[in-house]
Every structure is written in structure tokens, then in C-alpha cells.
A and B are shown apart, each in its own frame.
Chain A
Amino acid sequence: MNTLSILMSAFVLSLVGLGFFIWSQRSRLLSRSADGSEVIFARGEIGHPETLTPDRSLKAGAGTVDSQELLDRAAADASTAAVVFFFYCCAFVWLLVASAAGLTASIKLHAPDWLVSEAWLSFGRIRTLHLNAVAYGWAPMAGLGTALFIIPRLLKTELVGGRYALLGGALWNAALVAGLGSLAYGVSDGMEWLEIPWQIDILFVAGGALVGLPLILTLLRRKVAHLYVSVWYMGCALFWFPVLFFVANVPGLHRGVEAATMNWWFGHNVLGLFYTPLALASIYYFLPKLIGRPIQSYNLSLVGFWGLAFFYGQVGGHHLVGGPVPAWLVTLSIVQSMMMILPVVAFTVNQHLTLKGHLGALRHSPTLQFICLGGLMYTASSVQGSFEALRSVNVITHFTHYTVAHAHLGLYGFVTMVFFGAIYFVVPRVTGRDWPWPRLISLHFWLAATGIAIYFVSLTIGGWLQGSAMLDESRGFMESVRITLPYLQGRSVGGALMVLSHVVFAAHFVRLLIGGAGRTDQSSTRLSAPGAI
């Protein structure tokens, strides 16, 4: 058999298998319970949007009609409050570190003589510090913190072994400090996304395992028959990431072209199988929660989840288009990149159906604004990424700033925005204090949204011009560099707005922490404020 028929039959057979599997899940062929997709929560409250006016009848209703639901939720929150708070504090620190490093790297691209006295401030290191502070600092701390908060709530039980998660979080952060230190010093493993030396990675593995353990123990103690879609995503992210991270960091296992293939298998999957599911799970939780309406289609949730799980693992090869790797591998990754449109559309349609007719809730809930913008950007960046994988587009965008713009649309426009929204919702529940200045939340939102818009538009245009110039034999290489200069400056402007929004965000958080303890008591008046979330 030739390569073509093997590849074709593998593709078709696996698609048929996936379709059958999703159908069998839907038809509960593999389920022991009779009503796997039935409603799991006590009824009685569905149908009213997140209220913003002090409504005594509702308060009383929540207390009497459905008090068990509320009690379970309060018990779950009480068990996770300390550990979620710790993860969020770390997330704030790494957000600020990563922002500073990112802005510095951005400015250096159009002002190369700025801050050249120290080796660790050189572009090659400060950019790497930015990437690692986001990839292993901000995103996992915010994402795991949110997962630790949501999972016990959805399982209607308390977090088991929260102390392990605290210890794991501490180990993880110690590893990150050591890793960033070694990168700043110039010691690196030399592969993008995998720069941190493997000796330090052992600490990450230990820390990650300690964070994952309580969530598995909690899953075993669940008090619900049916797992809500958010739990699928978060549970799988916690299973996928250790596999990815361990395989990618075993020293001496992959060499040469194999190492490059593995490198992008890891680099792309850590986005799609770790950050993405954590953020999607947050959307699936917070969006229906905030508008008080169930997610409309369990069927679409199934397609979205299993499509992501099946297609995503194979798309990393599109980073190697044009490289000396077997053509079947790249072709398969391009096809699966396009197939990703299916789960993305399924997710988008599901959220759209849920939100339809309830857009008014957006005006009052800043959390919902962040979550909805994040969801839209998930659709945008995923569809863009699918087409970017096509050879005809890739030939222009590969090795240009266009790719950087795309990466930020995904990791900032989507993941980070969703985590911002999640933090705004969760912090009042774990601290018992409301955000003191609701206007600052709006300021944060608009600064961040404007910043990423400027960032994305200018780098996308600049990257496309750069790629076109590089393909044009009649123009020298330096022209393709010079042509990007105004767009790189535009990126720095957008980046500065984003950094400013993070400073506002962090300052607001600090104010909430050092503010008077009496906030809790004022919450009835807070409810009428636009910032009540």
C-alpha cells in the first residue's frame, strides 16, 4: 500500500469512528444511568438573569426553594477559597512580570539600542522570559485557580486535599522562579516553549501532579450522576498537560527533525489542549451562570468537546510546512487544522443559542463582557488559525509577525480575557468582598480590548507586508524588515494599553484586599451598583 491510501483510509476511518463515538455518547450506549444528560440540579430558579437590583423575594426564594443547591455551593467554595486565592495572587504577579517583559521586548524591535547594557535584557532573553512567564505563570495559575473553584461546585462536593494543591502551587511557582532565573542567566534548552532546563522541569511535574491529585480525588467523591461539560474540559486538560509536558521534556528522547516535530506537537497542543479547554470550560460555566439560562445543546457540547480532543492533537505539524519532515505528516496536520472548524463552530453556535435574546445582560455584568469577548475571539482566532495552516496562506505568513498577532489573538483575546472575567467573578466569592470601584473594571475592559485590537490589527498588516516582501526576489531582505517598523511601533502602543489595563486590574485587586473588612455588609447596596457581579 502506498502512503496516500494509508493516510486516506486512516483519515476516513477515524472520522467515522469519531462520529460513531459521539453518537454513542449521545445515545448513552456507554452509560449506566438512565438519564445521563438529564438535568442534575434542583429546579426552581432557572430563567431569571443575574439580577442587579436588590430583590428581596429572590433572596428569600433562594433560601427556601433551593437551599440545598446554595448550601452545596457555599460548602464547595469554603473548601477551595484559600487555594484559589493563592493561585490568583500568583497569577497577578506573573501577569505583571510577563507584561513588563513583553512590552520591553516589543519596544526593542523598533528601538534596538534601548536597554542594551545587561545581557538578560537583550531581546533573545526578555522575549523568552515573556513567553515563559505567560505560558507557565499567568495562564496556568489563573486557569488552574479557576478550575479548582469550578470543579467542586459542579461536582456538588468539597475539594479533597486542598493542601496538596497549595503545596503543588508553591512548588510550581518555585520552579518558575528558578526557570526564569536560568533563562535570564542564559541557560536554556533551546526549543521554543520548552526553554526551561529539564532539571527544573522535574519540579513542574511534581508541582503539577500535586495540583492534579486533589481534583482527581474530588472527581471520585462527586455527588452528581452527570458531569457538566466544563468538567470534561477541565478534567481532560489536567490529564493532557502532564502527558505533553513529560514527553516533551524527557532529555535525549528526540533528536534533529524528530525534535522539531515533537517541539511543535508540544507547542501547539499546550495551547489547544491545556489553555483552551481551561478557558472554554470557564465560558461554559460562567456564560449560562451569568445570564441564568441553561447551555442550549448538550449535542453541540459533545461535538465541540470530542472534536477538539480528536482533531487538535494532530495539528502541530502545520508549524513545519516547508520543513524537511515527511509530507504525509504536514498534510494530515493541515487537514486536521481545517477540521478544527467543526468543534469551533459547534461551540460558537451553542453559546450563540444560549445568549440569544439575553444580550441585555452584557450591559450590566463586566464579567460577562470579558467572557463574551473571549468567546468571540476563540472563534476568530481558531478560524484564522485553520486557514493559516493552508500552504497557500502559510507561504506568506510563516516566519512573520502575522503569526505573532495570531498567537496573541488566541492567548490574549481569548484565554486571558476569559480568565479576567473569571477572576472578577470568583474573587468576591473567595474573599467575601466586592470589587470596590466598578468603574475600574470597565476601564480595565476597554483598555485591554482597545490594546489587543491595535496590537492585532497592526501586527497582522505588518506581518502580511513583511511576508510579501520576503517572497519578492527583487527586494532585499532588509526592506522586509524596514517595512514592519511603523506596525511594530503600533504594536508597542497596543501593548502599552494592555499593560496599563493590567496595572489597573492589579491595583484594584490590592485595593480590594486592603479595603475595609466591612464590605460584606454593604453588599445589599452594592447589588444596585453596575459592578455587582
Chain B
Amino acid sequence: MNKPEILPQQRRENPDPEEGRTPIPWLVLALALALAAFGVVYISRSNLDAPAIWGDGRSAAELAGDKPAAGAKVDGGAIFTSMCAACHQPTGLGLPGVFPPLAGSEWVLGKPDTLAAILLHGINGSIEVKGTAYQGAMPAFGGSLGDAEIAAVLTHIRSTWGNAASPIDAAAVAAARARLADRKQPFSGGAELAALP
């Protein structure tokens, strides 16, 4: 073995450490016993036989959750944020030339039945909103949203961003759904919608 060069940093440091033989303090031993006792008590008091699919520590009743009470309010704003805002924007102003605005829109503030029809079946064609023509490609939500949810989101857009039209209830949406039950295609544009009764 070549004699290595010894750096001043190595020379000035302490020798490598070693271990003394102080006995374990009795407090640490007492802690060990206390923890072992805790473990025994904790295991003996836990409910181990519940089926795993319930999750840990919960009963079947808790997992069933609260059924929505009759007439509980559906949050139209939340539905708008998750399903509509991507095109119509959180401001309700749409994107000029691409997605029509909802704020101040004559379609939103107009006949509830027509508005419900747009959501139920969508639009595929030209529609004029506030004097500007849009090539509409509005998806249909009749399959994915229930009557109460459609009513809630329609009520939301009719009462936000300065809009102040009457609320729409689930019964009105249900009626529109029944009336248009035969329809399989989206509406072909503003002209067809205007012709609805």
C-alpha cells in the first residue's frame, strides 16, 4: 500500500467515532412497555371482522350515505363549470366568432321550451346570436343530464352575468323532453329552433 498523502483536513479532524456502554435509561424501557401495552389494547379493541369492501372502520349504514332529500337543490353553477364553461367561458361571453355568448343572448332569455330543446338535442348548423352568425356545434346533453340537472343549469345561465329571466323547473324540461321524444338528430340551426312552438 502506497503511503497516501494526508490532507490537512484529515489531520485536523477527530478520530473516527466509537460507542460507549451507557445502559438503557429506565424511562426508555418503561416507554417500550407502555407502547407494547398500547398495541395490545389497540388491537383488541379494533373491529377486524368487517368486510374489506366497506373500507376501514366504517359501517354499512355510513357507506350508504345520505340519500338526497326530495326537492334538494341541484347546483346549476357547478354543472355549468364542468360541462359548459370550456366553450361558453366562465364569463358567459363565449369566444367571438367561435362560441356564442350566453350573457344577454336572446335564446337564453327567450322561450324556456326552446332553450330546453337546445340542451336536450344540441345544434348542428348556423345560428344568429346578438346579431352575429355562428356555425353552431352544440352537443346534446339529453342523454347525460337528467331533467332536474338541465333545469338547474338553465336557471343558472338565465340568472347570471346580468341575465334576469324566470327560472325553469324540472317539470318544464320533462315536458320538452316528452314532446321531442321522436327526435334523433340535433337541430339544424336557428331557423328550425325559431319555428318550434
Listed in ascending order, the chain A residues whose CB lies under 8 Å from chain B are: 2-4, 7-8, 11-12, 15, 37, 39-42, 45-46, 48-51, 58-59, 62-63, 66, 69-71, 73-75, 77-78, 153-154, 158, 228-229, 257, 284-285, 287-290, 292, 294-301, 303, 320-328, 330-332, 334-336, 338-339, 341-342, 345-346, 349, 353, 391, 428-429, 432, 434, 520, 523-524, 527, 532
Taking a contact as CB atoms under 8 Å apart, the answer to whether A37 and B21 are in contact is: yes
**Contact mask for chain B residues 17-39; partner A; CB cutoff 8 A; 1 contact, 0 none:** 11111111100100110011011
Taking a contact as CB atoms under 8 Å apart, the answer to whether A353 and B22 are in contact is: yes
Can you list 30 residue pairs at the A/B interface with Cβ under 8 Å? A4-B48, A8-B44, A12-B36, A12-B40, A41-B18, A45-B14, A46-B18, A69-B15, A153-B16, A257-B52, A284-B17, A285-B17, A287-B17, A294-B17, A296-B22, A297-B21, A300-B24, A300-B28, A303-B28, A321-B57, A322-B57, A323-B55, A327-B46, A327-B57, A335-B38, A339-B39, A345-B28, A345-B31, A429-B10, A434-B9
Q: Which residues of B contact A299 (CB under 8 A)?
A: 21-24
Taking a contact as CB atoms under 8 Å apart, the answer to whether B6 and A74 are in contact is: yes
Taking a contact as CB atoms under 8 Å apart, the answer to whether A320 and B56 are in contact is: yes
9 A-B pairs with least C-beta separation: A288-B17, A523-B8, A297-B22, A298-B19, A292-B14, A78-B4, A335-B39, A428-B9, A74-B4
Taking a contact as CB atoms under 8 Å apart, the answer to whether B13 and A50 are in contact is: yes
Given contacts A51-B12, A70-B6, A289-B13, contact A11 B57 (CB under 8 A): no
Taking a contact as CB atoms under 8 Å apart, the answer to whether B55 and A322 are in contact is: yes
The secondary structure that dominates the B interface is loop
The secondary structure that dominates the A interface is helix
Minimum CB distance partner of A42 in chain B:
B15
Taking a contact as CB atoms under 8 Å apart, the answer to whether B4 and A295 are in contact is: no
Q: Which residues of B contact A69 (CB under 8 A)?
A: 15-16
Taking a contact as CB atoms under 8 Å apart, the answer to whether A520 and B7 are in contact is: yes
Q: In the complex, which of the residues A77, A292, A327 contacts B47, with contact meaning CB atoms closer than 8 Å?
A: A327
Given contacts A297-B19, A341-B31, A353-B22, contact A74 B56 (CB under 8 A): no
Number of interface residues of B (CB under 8 A): 47
Minimum CB distance partner of A323 in chain B:
B55
Minimum CB distance partner of A51 in chain B:
B12
Instruction: Please indicate which of the listed interface residues B31, B52, B54 has the most CB atoms of chain A within 10 Å of its own CB.
Output: B52
**Contact mask for chain B residues 130-166; partner A; CB cutoff 8 A; 1 contact, 0 none:** 0000000000000000000000000000000000000
Q: Which residues of B contact A153 (CB under 8 A)?
A: 16
Minimum CB distance partner of A75 in chain B:
B4
Q: Which residues of A contact B22 (CB under 8 A)?
A: 296-297, 299-300, 353
Tell me the bound Cα distance from A327 to B35 in angstroms.
Answer: 21
User: Is residue B182 contacting chain A, with contact meaning CB distance below 8 A?
Assistant: no
User: Is residue B72 contacting chain A, with contact meaning CB distance below 8 A?
Assistant: no
Give the distance to chain A from B10, nearest Cβ to Cβ, in Å.
5
Taking a contact as CB atoms under 8 Å apart, the answer to whether B52 and A432 are in contact is: no
Taking a contact as CB atoms under 8 Å apart, the answer to whether A297 and B23 are in contact is: yes
Q: Which residues of A contact B21 (CB under 8 A)?
A: 37, 297-299
Minimum CB distance partner of A325 in chain B:
B52
Given contacts A63-B11, A341-B35, contact A326 B23 (CB under 8 A): no
Q: In the complex, which of the residues B10, B52, B55 contacts A70, with contact meaning CB atoms closer than 8 Å?
A: B10
Minimum CB distance partner of A48 in chain B:
B14
Given contacts A37-B19, A321-B56, contact A73 B10 (CB under 8 A): yes
Taking a contact as CB atoms under 8 Å apart, the answer to whether A295 and B19 are in contact is: yes
Instruction: Please indicate which of the listed interface residues B4, B23, B44, B58 has the most CB atoms of chain A within 10 Å of its own CB.
Output: B4
Q: Which residues of B contact A292 (CB under 8 A)?
A: 14
Give the distance to chain A from B33, nearest Cβ to Cβ, in Å.
10
Task: Find residues 82-130 in chain B having any chain A CB closer than 8 Å to their own CB.
Answer: none
Tell me the bound Cα distance from A349 to B32 in angstroms.
Answer: 14
Tell me the bound Cα distance from A37 to B28 in angstroms.
Answer: 21
| Further pairs besides A8-B43, A327-B46, A336-B39: 4, Cβ < 8 Å | A42-B15, A297-B21, A325-B52, A391-B56
User: Is residue B3 contacting chain A, with contact meaning CB distance below 8 A?
Assistant: yes
Q: Which residues of A contact B6 (CB under 8 A)?
A: 70-71, 74
Minimum CB distance partner of A59 in chain B:
B11
Taking a contact as CB atoms under 8 Å apart, the answer to whether B43 and A4 are in contact is: yes
Give the distance to chain B from A59, nearest Cβ to Cβ, in Å.
6
Minimum CB distance partner of B32 in chain A:
A342
Taking a contact as CB atoms under 8 Å apart, the answer to whether A327 and B20 are in contact is: no
Tell me the bound Cα distance from A50 to B12 in angstroms.
Answer: 8
Q: Which residues of A contact B53 (CB under 8 A)?
A: 324
**Contact mask for chain B residues 38-81; partner A; CB cutoff 8 A; 1 contact, 0 none:** 11101110111110111111100000000000000000000000
